[in-house]
């Protein structure tokens, strides 16, 4: 239950961060599958022919594109919320990630659809490695933020109740 | 076997043991045979003398590491073209090794660890030309194709047989069983000698693939021609040349009885041609809804060539006249490509697009981005990246349906080749560029177009191909260069594979290569031949592993390094900036020479010291910096620049090196001394000259071979002997009179000098699949600027001379 706007923000942030963690895990899995394709033992018929699964892998990159924008928008929504709730410390912690998202989106390859990943260059080993590292770092950040919001929520909640309790006791 | 119309050097020539350099030029050249001056040859007899062969793998040859002070020795160019270095392997391994014309590595001795490679500061990569026209290609039809069970490598000459029944893969070291059928050798009719089978005796081999290698029944050859018929296009007159060329070659299009052809023309609307058997004449169907293109009839737009040949010929005869009076100035290329893709997607095939102007209507319309004032900019060049990803996305769609798009750009204005080129780059097509093509004003381009078309229509082709490059455990490939789509980590999707395409890859050493004497690389190309046969062409290369820096430097292949650096620089220009790429190239030279100086050189002397195998490296880097693709300060059209960049990535190494460092010969005093005898024709072999005006002389005539174009420069006081005997003009003034527009034909006179000159130029031309146009220029000709721009050793107002560049390098190295 949300008593103050700040507590409400933290609770909402908690729930949405769970979604962000899910996105980050999907991101990691997608790139890992793209990368490890060639390390699997390959069947005789599929040896040199592109199979239907492999075509889907490239399509999976396009799905990742559909995941990337919601992630950025959700995170932007957090920042706006925390700004409105005057939670400055939390906002400052999220600002670097917001700046990074903006930079990443601005320096994406020329594309007609909103998206970050170019199927022709994604298989370059250095770009692939960069995307994987990015996935892991984001997962770590979102996990930490999850626990931070959890703590924040409990802290504010506890603050309110102790304020309520003291006010209750003091009126005794 | 008949394998295309431009065979490589005939076997008799390849096996000449004496190199062209009969008199040694270098003052310090050793008398012993030097491995790197051997002629580039396939699996021919090894040239290593017994003393060299007895040397261990780890010792370096004295000649390759001979210290050269570049500031003092000026005559560095060998008299004949630089051959590829031979890897330092034992004689029996090297005898079986893949030809350097097909498979070449930047470092012929692979470093043992990644840190050693980083210390050497040279890129590690492979340059391949897998579908090259070969004069000898063993073809194996076997019910079982023997492959390693884990890594799926094909059996090759460098596997080891543990006993008669088991073999060890040389890429993953897994022990496999020899199948029963493999024990019998059909060639020698013997049993029990699997190591004598042709698969294990040839590094380049072709298999006929059984049905497990087919995703669908092999497709027929399908050719679709998409032609621009706007007013501009008709003005250039290319349609006549195209139709005539196709009519002449219609019976030599590679294919069988299932071959299909189709035609689409477009200006502001798209025109289809119904060529159904039974019609009296071709029927044109016009679709003007270019926003939402559809096919007007479900079939008979792509028809069987054999059944409808008369209709096709009628169409080709009437096509130029149909659009003679057109006044359309708009070009809806994007929609035409979409329509063509719809037509070809059920079967796959090849799409040839002819475009003469900037597409300005419909989807994929492009803007003119070039600023003419920025052409000679000394700083960064903008607009090297595509403006829109429409063509890239379409190319990816085409690639998934096994359609390749070849682009012929015949325009005089800016056409945004950076965006248009994407349609070929990712669908394994090729780009041909004829700037300022016009049938009257530019006959040299017309001749080049004709000859290129003939080659294009008749050369060997493979459909729905994929290529996989495997390397020994511990090495991995991380970047690919060339026209294809990387479908998986080392799987390249090539809807069409043609014999003129080259590829390059960069490698890194993931695990240390301890306990390995040699490593192997295998490129396997699975394709459908034009006759509907599924085939696999396999090339295997074996190289030694070394763990000392001096051995790595001894095995450096300077031309391959230059080629790979050029590909990397093109990528860097597009993703970062041109000045970044230029700095990176200079730094590559500085870093490698600094590493040599610090780690390998025992005696520190003043000067710019390089090993003999890398003595041409600064020259090639300077040539790259002054190349059309990367030069700044000189006025270069953006399309020309982008085309040069595309060619650097697409051309096989031999032709790319001619583009980068043209060959200069003096031709007015050709003699038969040291001449080659091929097919009873005597072909003179003049010496290669350095690219400096110092080597030019007013009394001579010089031929510059720059790959796609040749310049024959006549000095002002040239011998009248040469003018009369070879050119057929009485004096120097008459050169322009006779050759103002017809400057591309040497007259066929009956004199000995004329025969020698024509034999030499013909021999140069025969060595490559495309046709270099010949320009005869006088001192005051307009083309003299292009000729002089290739004099890379000279100083220009925006670039250093060769000596100044060497001083700059020395300054940076000794910092």
Mind listing the pLDDT tens digit for each residue in B670-682? Answer: 877 777 777 777 8
For B628-639, what is the mean pLDDT?
89
For B710-736, what is the mean pLDDT?
79
Strand order in the sheet with B475-481: B103-105, B125-128, B503-509, B475-481
The Cα B661–Cα B690 span in angstroms is 10
pLDDT above 70 coverage of chain A, percent: 74
Per-residue model confidence (pLDDT) at position B641: 93
- How many C-beta neighbours within 10 Å does residue B175 have? 12
The Cα B9–Cα B7 span in angstroms is 6
- Rounded mean pLDDT of chain B? 85
Q: Under a CB-based contact definition with an 8 Å cutoff, are residues B719 and B699 in contact? A: yes
Report residue B28's pLDDT band, with 50, 70 and 90 as the boundaries: very low
Give Cα separations from B465 to B151, B461, B535, B599, B613 (angstroms): 20, 10, 9, 45, 37
Nearest CA to CA, how far is B484 from chain A (Å)?
A: 9
Q: Is A112 within 8 Å of chain B by CB?
A: yes
pLDDT at A126 over 60: yes
For residue B504, give the nearest of B413, B570, B447, B600 by alpha carbon: B570
Q: Which residue has the higher pLDDT, B6 or B637?
A: B637
- Tens-place pLDDT, residues B180-190: 888 888 777 88
Per-residue model confidence (pLDDT) at position B2: 37
**Which CATH number is B661-787's, of 3.40.20.10, 3.40.50.880, 2.40.40.20, 3.40.50.10420?**
3.40.20.10
Facing residue for B479 by CB, picked from A112, A120, A124 = A124
Facing residue for A119 by CB, picked from B396, B524, B536 = B396
φ/ψ of B520, rounded to 5, equals -125, 155
Closest-CA residue in chain B for A36? B489
pLDDT at B611 over 60: yes
Per-residue model confidence (pLDDT) at position A53: 42
Q: Is A86 within 8 Å of chain B by CB?
A: no
pLDDT at B699 over 70: yes
Report angle CA B155, B541, B132 to the nearest 5 degrees.
100
β-pair type (B349-355, B222-228): parallel
Q: Is B486 helix (H, G, I), strand (E, B) or coil?
A: strand
Is the CB of A55 less than 8 angstroms away from the CB of B400? yes
Per-residue model confidence (pLDDT) at position B84: 86
Is the CB of A47 less than 8 angstroms away from the CB of B152? yes
pLDDT at B42 over 60: no
Q: Which residue has the higher pLDDT, A134 or B34?
A: A134
The Cα B750–Cα B75 span in angstroms is 36
Q: Choose, out of A123, A124, A126, A130, the residue to mutate when testing the contact with B (most B CBs < 10 Å).
A: A123
Q: Is B369 within 8 Å of chain A by CB?
A: no
Q: What angle do helix axes B617-625 and B558-575 make, rounded to 10 degrees?
A: 30
The strand pairing partners of B352, in sequence order, are B225, B406
Q: With contacts defined as CB-CB under 8 Å, which chain B residues touch A47?
A: 147, 152, 213, 468
Per-residue model confidence (pLDDT) at position B468: 93
The Cα B543–Cα B474 span in angstroms is 14
Is the CB of B486 less than 8 angstroms away from the CB of A123? yes
Is the CB of B392 less than 8 angstroms away from the CB of A49? no
Q: Looking at A88-92, B125-129, B508-512, B660-664, which range is the least confident one?
A: A88-92
- How many C-beta neighbours within 10 Å does residue B680 have? 5
The Cα B21–Cα B674 span in angstroms is 9
Q: Is B487 within 8 Å of chain A by CB?
A: yes
Q: HSE-up of B486 (CA within 13 Å, CB side)?
A: 26
Q: With contacts defined as CB-CB under 8 Å, which chain A residues touch B511?
A: none
For A108-115, what is the mean pLDDT?
65
Is CATH 1.10.540.10 what the domain over B221-373+391-456 is classified as, yes or no? no
Q: With contacts defined as CB-CB under 8 Å, which chain B residues touch A42?
A: 152
Give Cα separations from A158 to A87, B170, B522 (angstroms): 17, 67, 67
What ipTM does this complex have?
0.73
pLDDT at A114 over 80: no
For B12-40, what is the mean pLDDT?
36
What CATH topology corresponds to B556-654+800-812?
1.20.120
Q: Which residue has the higher pLDDT, B377 or B714?
A: B714
Per-residue model confidence (pLDDT) at position B424: 94
- Tens-place pLDDT, residues B498-536: 999 999 999 999 999 988 899 999 999 999 999 999 999
Q: Choose, out of B211, B391, B487, the residue to mutate when testing the contact with A (most A CBs < 10 Å).
A: B487
The Cα A170–Cα A37 span in angstroms is 68
Is the CB of A37 less than 8 angstroms away from the CB of B400? no
Report residue B597's pLDDT band, with 50, 70 and 90 as the boundaries: confident
Q: Which residue has the higher pLDDT, B470 or A156?
A: B470
- Tens-place pLDDT, residues B356-380: 999 999 898 998 988 888 787 777 8
Q: With contacts defined as CB-CB under 8 Å, which chain A residues touch B393?
A: 112
Report residue B25's pLDDT band, with 50, 70 and 90 as the boundaries: very low
Facing residue for B478 by CB, picked from A50, A118, A125 = A125
Per-residue model confidence (pLDDT) at position B601: 75
pLDDT at B8 over 50: no
Tokens standing for residue A64: 């990742």
Q: What is the largest CA-CA distance in chain A?
A: 83
Burial of B466 (0-12, 13-18, 19+ CB in 10 A): buried
Distance from chain centroid for Cα B499: 9
Q: Under a CB-based contact definition with an 8 Å cutoff, are residues B565 and B550 in contact? A: no
Report residue A11's pLDDT band, with 50, 70 and 90 as the boundaries: confident
- Tens-place pLDDT, residues A56-107: 455 555 555 566 778 888 888 888 888 888 878 888 888 988 999 888 888 8
pLDDT above 70 coverage of chain B, percent: 91
Q: Is B488 within 8 Å of chain A by CB?
A: yes
The Cα B40–Cα B85 span in angstroms is 8
pLDDT at B163 over 50: yes
Q: Is B468 within 8 Å of chain A by CB?
A: yes
Residue A92: CB partners within 8 Å, gap ≥ 6? none
Q: Is B143 within 8 Å of chain A by CB?
A: no
Per-residue model confidence (pLDDT) at position A112: 61
Per-residue model confidence (pLDDT) at position A41: 28
Residue B186: CB partners within 8 Å, gap ≥ 6? none
The Cα B699–Cα B718 span in angstroms is 4
Is the CB of B487 less than 8 angstroms away from the CB of A54? yes
The Cα B384–Cα B372 span in angstroms is 14
Q: HSE-up of B570 (CA within 13 Å, CB side)?
A: 23
Domain ranges of chain B: 137-213+460-553, 221-373+391-456, 556-654+800-812, 661-787
Q: Is B494 within 8 Å of chain A by CB?
A: no
User: B222-257: b or e for each residue (b if 16 or more CB lie within 10 Å)?
Assistant: bbbbbbbbbbbbbebbbbebbbebbeeeeeebbbee
Q: With contacts defined as CB-CB under 8 Å, which chain A residues touch B536?
A: 48
pLDDT at B745 over 90: no
Give start and end residues of each alpha helix (H) in B459-600. Answer: 549-554, 558-575, 578-595
Burial of B714 (0-12, 13-18, 19+ CB in 10 A): buried
Residue given tokens 């092999």 in the structure block: B218
Q: Choose, out of B384, B424, B486, B509, the residue to mutate when testing the contact with A (most A CBs < 10 Å).
A: B486
The strand pairing partners of B261, in sequence order, are B223, B303
Per-residue model confidence (pLDDT) at position B7: 37
Report residue B205's pLDDT band, with 50, 70 and 90 as the boundaries: very high
Q: HSE-up of B132 (CA within 13 Å, CB side)?
A: 32
**Which CATH number is B137-213+460-553's, of 2.60.15.10, 2.40.50.140, 2.60.40.1670, 3.40.109.10?**
2.60.40.1670
Tokens standing for residue B751: 């004199």
Per-residue model confidence (pLDDT) at position B787: 84
Q: Which residue has the higher pLDDT, B8 or A126?
A: A126
Per-residue model confidence (pLDDT) at position B651: 92
Per-residue model confidence (pLDDT) at position B222: 95
The Cα A32–Cα A131 span in angstroms is 10
Is the CB of B393 less than 8 angstroms away from the CB of A47? no
Q: Which of A41-50, B142-151, B226-235 has the highest mean pLDDT?
A: B226-235
Q: Which residue has the higher pLDDT, A159 or B344?
A: B344
Length of chain B: 815
Is the CB of A120 less than 8 angstroms away from the CB of B426? yes
pTM: 0.86
Q: Is A32 within 8 Å of chain B by CB?
A: no
Facing residue for B466 by CB, picked from A34, A49, A124 = A49
DSSP character for B547? Answer: -
For B571-588, what is the mean pLDDT?
92
Per-residue model confidence (pLDDT) at position B737: 58
- Tens-place pLDDT, residues B446-490: 888 998 999 999 999 999 999 999 999 999 998 999 999 888 777
User: B183-200: b or e for each residue (b if 16 or more CB lie within 10 Å)?
Assistant: eebeeeeeeeebbebbbb
* Rg of chain B on CA atoms, in Å: 27
């Amino acid at each position: 239950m949300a008593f103050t706007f700040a507590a409400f923000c933290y609770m909402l942030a908690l729930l949405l961060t769970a979604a962000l963690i899910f996105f980050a895990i999907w991101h990691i899995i997608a790139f890992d599958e793209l990368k490890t394709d060639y390390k699997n033992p390959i069947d005789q018929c599929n040896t040199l022919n592109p199979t239907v699964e492999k075509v889907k892998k490239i399509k999976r990159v396009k799905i990742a594109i559909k995941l990337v924008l919601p992630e950025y928008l959700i995170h932007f929504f957090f920042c706006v919320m925390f700004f409105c709730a005057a939670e400055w410390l939390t906002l400052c912690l999220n600002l670097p990630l917001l700046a990074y998202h903006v930079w990443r989106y601005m320096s994406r390859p020329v594309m007609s659809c909103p998206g970050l990943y170019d199927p022709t260059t994604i298989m370059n080993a250095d770009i692939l490695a960069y995307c994987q590292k990015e996935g892991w770092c984001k997962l770590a950040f979102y996990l930490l933020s999850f626990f931070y919001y959890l703590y924040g929520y409990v802290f504010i909640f506890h603050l309110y109740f102790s304020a309520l309790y003291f006010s209750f006791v003091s009126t005794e | 076997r008949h394998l295309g119309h431009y065979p490589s050097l005939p076997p008799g020539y390849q096996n000449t043991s004496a190199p062209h350099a009969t008199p040694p030029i270098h003052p310090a050249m050793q008398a012993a045979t030097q491995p790197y001056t051997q002629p580039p040859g396939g699996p021919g007899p090894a040239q290593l003398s017994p003393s060299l062969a007895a040397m261990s793998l780890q010792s370096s040859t004295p000649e390759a590491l001979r210290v050269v002070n570049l500031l003092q020795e000026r005559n560095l160019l060998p008299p004949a073209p630089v051959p590829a270095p031979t890897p330092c392997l034992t004689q029996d391994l090297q005898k079986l090794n893949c030809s350097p014309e097909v498979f070449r590595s930047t470092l012929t001795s692979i470093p043992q660890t990644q840190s050693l490679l980083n210390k050497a500061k040279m890129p590690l990569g492979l340059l391949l030309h897998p579908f090259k026209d070969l004069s000898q290609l063993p073809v194996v039809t076997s019910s079982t194709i023997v492959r390693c069970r884990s890594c799926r490598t094909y059996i090759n000459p460098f596997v080891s047989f543990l006993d008669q029944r088991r073999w060890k893969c040389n890429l993953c070291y897994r022990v496999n069983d020899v199948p029963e059928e493999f024990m019998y050798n059909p060639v020698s009719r013997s049993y029990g000698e699997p190591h004598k089978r042709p698969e294990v005796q040839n590094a380049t081999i072709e298999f006929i693939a059984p049905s497990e290698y087919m995703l669908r029944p092999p497709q027929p050859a399908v050719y679709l021609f998409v032609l621009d018929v706007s007013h501009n296009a008709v003005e250039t007159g290319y349609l006549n040349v195209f139709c005539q060329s196709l009519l002449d070659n219609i019976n030599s299009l590679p294919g069988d009885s299932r071959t299909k052809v189709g035609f689409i023309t477009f200006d502001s609307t798209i025109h289809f041609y119904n060529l159904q058997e039974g019609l009296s004449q071709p029927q044109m169907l016009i679709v003007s809804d270019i926003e939402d293109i559809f096919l007007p009839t479900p079939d008979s737009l792509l028809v069987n060539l054999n059944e409808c040949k008369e209709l096709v010929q009628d169409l080709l005869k009437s096509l130029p006249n149909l659009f003679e009076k057109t006044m359309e100035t708009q070009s809806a290329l994007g929609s035409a490509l979409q329509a063509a893709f719809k037509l070809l997607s059920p079967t796959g095939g090849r799409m040839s697009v002819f475009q003469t102007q900037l597409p300005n209507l419909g989807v994929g319309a492009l803007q003119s981005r070039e600023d003419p004032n920025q052409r000679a900019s000394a700083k960064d060049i903008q607009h090297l990246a595509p403006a829109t990803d429409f063509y890239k996305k379409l190319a990816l769609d085409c690639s998934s349906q096994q359609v390749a798009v070849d682009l012929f750009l015949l325009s005089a204005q800016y056409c945004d080749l950076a965006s248009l080129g994407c349609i070929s780059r990712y669908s394994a097509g090729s780009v041909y560029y004829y700037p300022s093509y016009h049938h009257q004003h530019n006959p040299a381009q017309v001749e080049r177009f004709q000859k290129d078309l003939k080659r294009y229509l008749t050369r060997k082709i493979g459909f729905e191909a994929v290529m996989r490059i495997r390397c020994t455990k511990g090495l991995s490939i991380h970047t690919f260069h060339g026209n294809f789509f990387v479908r998986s980590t080392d799987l390249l999707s090539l809807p069409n594979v043609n014999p003129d395409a080259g590829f390059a890859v960069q490698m890194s050493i993931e695990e240390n290569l301890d306990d390995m004497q040699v490593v192997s690389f295998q490129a396997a190309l699975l394709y459908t031949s034009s006759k509907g046969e599924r085939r696999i062409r396999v090339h295997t290369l074996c190289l030694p592993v070394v763990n000392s820096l001096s051995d790595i430097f001894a095995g450096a292949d300077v031309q391959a390094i230059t080629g790979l650096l050029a590909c990397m620089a093109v990528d860097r220009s597009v993703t970062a900036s041109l000045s970044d790429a230029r700095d990176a190239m200079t730094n590559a030279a500085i870093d490698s020479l600094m590493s040599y100086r610090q780690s390998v050189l025992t005696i520190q002397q003043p000067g710019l010291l390089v090993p003999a195998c890398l003595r041409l490296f600064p020259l090639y880097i300077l040539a790259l910096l002054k190349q059309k693709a990367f030069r700044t300060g000189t006025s270069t059209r953006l399309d020309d620049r982008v085309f040069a960049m595309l060619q650097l990535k697409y051309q096989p190494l031999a032709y790319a090196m001619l583009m980068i460092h043209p060959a200069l010969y003096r031709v007015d005093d050709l003699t038969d001394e040291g001449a080659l005898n091929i097919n009873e024709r005597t072909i003179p072999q003049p010496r290669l000259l350095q690219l400096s005006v110092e080597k030019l002389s007013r009394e001579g005539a010089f031929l510059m071979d720059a790959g796609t174009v040749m310049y024959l420069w006549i000095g002002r006081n040239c011998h009248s002997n040469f003018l009369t005997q070879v050119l057929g003009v009485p004096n120097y003034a008459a050169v322009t009179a006779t050759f103002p527009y017809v400057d591309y034909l040497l007259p066929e006179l009956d004199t000995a000098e004329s025969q020698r000159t024509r034999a030499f130029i013909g021999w140069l031309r025969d060595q490559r699949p495309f046709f270099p146009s010949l320009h005869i220029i006088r001192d005051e000709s307009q083309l003299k600027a292009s000729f002089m721009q290739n004099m890379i050793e000279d100083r220009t107002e925006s670039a250093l001379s060769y000596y100044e560049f060497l001083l700059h390098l020395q300054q940076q190295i000794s910092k």
